[in-house]
Amino acid sequence: MTVFKSYSKINLSLIVIKKLRDKLHEIQSLFCLINVNDKIEVIKIREKRDKILFKGPFAKDVSSSNNSINSLLKLLRKMKLISNFYSVVVTKNIPVFGGLGGGTSNAIYLLKFLLKGEINNSILSEVEKKIGSDTRLFFFKRGFLQNLKKIIRINKKYDLYFLLVHPNIKCSTSKIYSKIKKYSKKTNFNYDKIRTKSRFIDYTSNNRNDLQFIVEKKYPIIRKLLKDISFERGCYFSRMSGSGSVCYGLFNSSKTAKKALNKLKAKYPKFWLSVAKTV
């Protein structure tokens, strides 16, 4: 048996440029992977059918038949890239429908394992069509998504500390994107703006998530939650990741993030909260 982690991502910024012909949207996003992760256990089996099991805190939110693991294995067999069948057990610690990319992450980390990292653009394009447009993000620990096909790698690592809050709202990515009425102007990424940690934080603080207003309008608790996070000591800014509904605050240390978690846990006892760090 092989066991590995499947990391989640945070969108530090997200602007929507335009709607594409294939019904997807062109976006730009500064992102990073964080240590909130699912655990994946894989073993080759003799049966002629895959055995896929989800367990853990968010397993109930995953379809047993229509999920990214099942879709990936079927696709790889159709492409004749694998011939064996597998038992895959996923411990779901990443909130589902939260904007952290958990489902895509599961598929991509399994893909890396099965193909031993030998993934060319042709394979990636087919996987992308089946799994989702955010597949490329999980090949980078941090970067700037310039468009759906190009990511600028950020080699400089800054230890960033986050408080994450999932308000038990399941956001449908397609429905959130369907509500977009106004598009943003495309930007050119300037590496000089993030050359030091203080510049990086200033740059991200002055950015935004274009989808946040749409979600706040539909779910007013998101606006209140983001405001409460931003008022906590040591918080640089608060924002929503992806199409939601996970909200986060970027903090100046793990200590201040943990203190904020304890305070907000008392205020929102039914919400999922976690302190996270860049990987």
- Name the residues annotated as catalytic: 9, 134
Looking up tokens 């907000």, which residue turns up? 264
3-state SS record for the chain: CEEEEEEEEEECCEEEEEECCCCCEEEEEEEEEEEEEEEEEEEEECCCCCEEEEECCCHHHCCCCCCHHHHHHHHHHHCCCCCCEEEEEEECCCCCCCCCCHHHHHHHHHHHHHCCCCCCHHHHHHHHHHHCCCHHHHHCCEEEEEECCEEEECCCCCCCEEEEEECCCCCCHHHHHHCCCCCCCCCCCCHHHHCCHHHHHHHHHCCCECCHHHHHHHCHHHHHHHHHHHCCCCEEEEEECCCCCCEEEEECCHHHHHHHHHHHHHHCCCCEEEEEEEC
Backbone angles phi, psi at 215, to 5 degrees: -70, -40
272 strand-pairing partners: 166
CA distance 176 to 215: 7
